[in-house]
Structure 1
């Protein structure tokens, strides 16, 4: 060390200079092994993400429903895993039965559509019959009050047909070895009620002959829809047994159409060219 002009100078031989390379440490076998092993093991995706890494709320709902007890709400969430476009497609397929409805559902029947369709039918039946009754009361100069018994009767009739009847048909076909699917049976009957929504709305018109034509058309469309999709299941049983069950299906369906006609569509609007409104006799 020397002192030149007030500055200290340090003299170091070239032999004492050593340089270290840090690049080799990243290429060492141990480091390389750690990196490759970490990359080779795929990391699990969070729940609700598809293969493309996009979030899918339906996948999340299905994942939450797996392993849940039957009495929990999460267990039934998978039965309502549909969107509006799917429900509308299935509704149109039930009104215009061109393809097999089970193929339209793509192996994923739901309860969302059947529940809301049945509820909508109940609401439309009550509203349409109430509108006509109010018109009759107005034309007859009589006071009018909503008949809540109509709503109660509609609830009982439609919900029984939408859920109890298919459960009975499912039990019968299962007993005879047809191996039906309960959820598919409920979906068939639920979506089969779709045609009664426009029928109920158009039955507000005052012509009884038109109402009969609407009821017959609705019964025929929904009946063809049911028979066409139930027959492959019923045909798995013996010929005589399948005929009996098929007659039962058609009979219950015809009974529903007659109940709707005489309970909700059998009214007189009291307009020119139609029958006179029925007057309630004085007590």
Structure 2
């Protein structure tokens, strides 16, 4: 499991299309599940801190858990399944469903530490972290998916890489807006008088 995780950040490693069999199916699933729990926990914590500092009453964030579950599993399981189906329909290479799910699962792993770093209550820092994570994750996706799609003579197959990049950009922005849009602003110690 650790070797597959290191392969995500090792730019000298061959793309997954040339690794052959042996890609684990469970690890990407647990990566997505861990991401769901971390997204929910960190966004709930930042919301609670913002409510406390703004003297707002606390409110439940339980619907956010179902939002995190739906968002991450739809993107991490349904999108790669559709991509695999499209590649099978177009007759592209030997690419198994487990490998496609693995690529997407591992690509989302970078957002686990980024979600923890998004506890930093500075909006621009959160944007930079999310964008950098999106770029590195997107690079990993393109690096592993493009060789399979580029081998096709069908132009539709090559357009799929554009769809992969577009959907990835949408999920990255959605993660920022849905889970880390709370601003943590307390009372101004200079202009506000103490009671």
What TM-score do you get using the length of structure 2 for normalisation? 0.89
Counterpart of 1:173 in structure 2 is 87
For 2:87 and 2:132, how far apart are their aligned partners in 1? 28
Q: 1:245 to 1:142 in 2, by over 3 A?
A: same
Matched, 1:132 2:46: yes
Contact 1:124 1:200 in 2 (8 A): yes
Q: Please report how far the alpha carbon of residue 105 of structure 1 lies from its aligned counterpart in structure 2 after TM superposition.
A: 5.4
Alpha-carbon separation, structure 1, partners of 2:182 and 2:10: 29
Instruction: Work out whether residues 90 and 105 of structure 1, in 8 Å CA contact, stay in contact via their aligned partners in 2.
Output: no
TM value normalised by structure 1:
0.62
Deviations 1:217-239, CA, capped at 9 Å, x for gaps: 10110111011111111012125
Q: Which has the larger radius of gyration?
A: 1
Within the candidate set 103, 111, 136, 1:196 is matched to 111
Contact 1:170 1:182 in 2 (8 A): yes
CA contact (8 A) 2:38 2:116 kept: yes
TM-superposed deviation, 1:146: 2.8
Of 108, 123, 140, the residue aligned with 2:22 is: 108
Q: Report the Cα distance in structure 1 between the residues aligned to 2:112 and 2:77, rounded to whole angstroms.
A: 18
Q: Is 1:90 the equivalent of 2:4?
A: yes
Q: How many residues align?
A: 187
Flag as ranges the 4+ runs of structure 1 deviating above 3 A: 95-98, 103-106
Structure 1: 5+ residue runs without aligned partners?
1-86, 274-283
Checking the alignment, whether the CA contact within 8 Å between 1:192 and 1:225 is kept in structure 2 is yes
Backbone CA RMSD of aligned residues:
1.8
Structure number with the bigger relative contact order (C-alpha 8 A, sep ≥ 6) is 2
- Larger % of helix: which? 2
